[in-house]
Structure 1
Amino acid sequence: MSAEERRESVIRAAISEFARGGYEGTSTEAIARRVGVSQPYLFRLFPGKRAIFLAAATRCLEETARVFADAAKNAPPGGIPAAMGAAYSDMIERDREKLLMQMQMYVAVASAEAAGDHEFGQPIREGWLELRDTIHLALGADEKVSSRFLSEGMLINTLLALGFPAGHRVWGGFDDEGC
């Protein structure tokens, strides 16, 4: 395997490990073990845990933005919000780790900010803004529509992360297309 292929494997493994354990609860040893490399080799690919987390977070945001962009591009006229919602629902149904990684990103940035580290979150904020802009443009650059879509998405993320099953009363306000 080339170094680039190994690097890709590390990013995928990091998404899985960080999704489950968060930034603080995930060791680089666990990531190296999942990939099948030594920690010294892992640190030849990435300078440290922070760089691995940021690469995983960036990848997760990029892939999520791509899901929304593809859904919007292939949506029937007037059906972009429903197509994007359905595509996102499909993504998190197929790959729950991406949802959990998103939630872990928010916790990691908030924790770093609380500790006075204002640089840690900058690449994640930039990636999130790109995701937001992808959604915003696909929805016709309407601030209210974009804000509502993102708000409902965050509520869906929260309810899923908390483990509320389909059919629970907390889902009552959503259309079938929204979840």
Structure 2
Amino acid sequence: MVRMSAEERRESVIRAAITEFARAGYNGTSTEVIAKRVGVSQPYLFRLFPNKQAIFLAASERCLADTRRVFGETAEGLEGEEALDAMAAAYQRLIADDPEKLLMQMQMYVAVAAAEAAGDHEFGEQVRAGWLELWDDVHLHLGADVGETTTFLAYGMLINVLVSLGFPAEHRIWSSFEE
């Protein structure tokens, strides 16, 4: 049996956390279930991360970083409409191939809203910082056009909502995306 390094275990925890938080949200996911998925004890989990919030934030950052990476790789060498179309197609593939990342994104928004309502503004600041990096990357790929960036991300959020709500691909709601 090959032993994993702490960094490899940490990576396993982040992947497991994305899966578990995507399914049950921040409040509905226990660190016990994450530890069990990875095959480690809770005490070991807390040697890798100081608390549940740190695990959630690492999973959130990974989700946003993966999306930024996909957009960056796809838009490399492209400009304007070509970059926009390539990133849109890449995002559609990303959420089709890895729906847990989409659900994790949605859980991020819920967790931040709940934390803000409870008076925890630091939690939201960390997630917002990651989302701002996503905005900035998309903005640069689209030629620093605020309107294009806003429209692209607005369509992305609409897609997130429709997919999260379970609208099937053949539903009439998707007809506006055929252009």
* Bin for the TM-score computed over the shorter chain: over 0.9
Cα distance in structure 2, aligned partners of 1:74 and 1:166: 31
Cα distance in structure 2, aligned partners of 1:111 and 1:170: 29
Q: Is the 8 A contact 2:79 2:143 kept in 1?
A: no
Aligned residue among 26, 31, 39 for 1:28: 31
Verify: 1:6 aligned to 2:19, yes or no: no
Q: Any stretches of 5+ residues in structure 2 without a counterpart? A: none
Cα distance in structure 2, aligned partners of 1:136 and 1:154: 16
Alignment-derived partner of residue 18 in structure 2: 15
What is the Cα deviation at residue 76 of structure 1? 7.4
Cα distance in structure 1, aligned partners of 2:28 and 2:78: 40
Alignment-derived partner of residue 110 in structure 1: 113
Cα distance in structure 2, aligned partners of 1:17 and 1:112: 19
TM-score by length of 1: 0.95
Cα distance in structure 2, aligned partners of 1:77 and 1:121: 32
What is the Cα deviation at residue 167 of structure 1? 1.5
SS where residue 111 of structure 1 aligns? helix
SS where residue 173 of structure 1 aligns? helix
Q: Any stretches of 5+ residues in structure 1 without a counterpart? A: none
Alignment-derived partner of residue 168 in structure 2: 165
Alignment-derived partner of residue 47 in structure 1: 50
Aligned residue among 147, 153, 162 for 1:144: 147
What is the Cα deviation at residue 123 of structure 1? 1.1
Cα distance in structure 1, aligned partners of 2:80 and 2:121: 42
Counterpart of 1:132, as a letter, is W
Counterpart of 1:118, as a letter, is H
SS where residue 120 of structure 1 aligns? helix
What is the Cα deviation at residue 175 of structure 1? 2.2
Number of residue pairs matched by the alignment? 176
Instruction: Compute the RMSD of aligned alpha carbons.
Output: 1.2
Cα distance in structure 1, aligned partners of 2:65 and 2:92: 16
TM-score by length of 2: 0.95
Aligned residue among 86, 103, 120 for 1:100: 103
Cα distance in structure 2, aligned partners of 1:79 and 1:130: 22
What is the Cα deviation at residue 75 of structure 1? 4.2
Q: Is the 8 A contact 2:71 2:87 kept in 1?
A: yes
Alignment-derived partner of residue 72 in structure 1: 75
What is the Cα deviation at residue 21 of structure 1? 0.5
Cα distance in structure 2, aligned partners of 1:121 and 1:63: 19
Cα distance in structure 1, aligned partners of 2:122 and 2:171: 40
Cα distance in structure 1, aligned partners of 2:25 and 2:66: 19
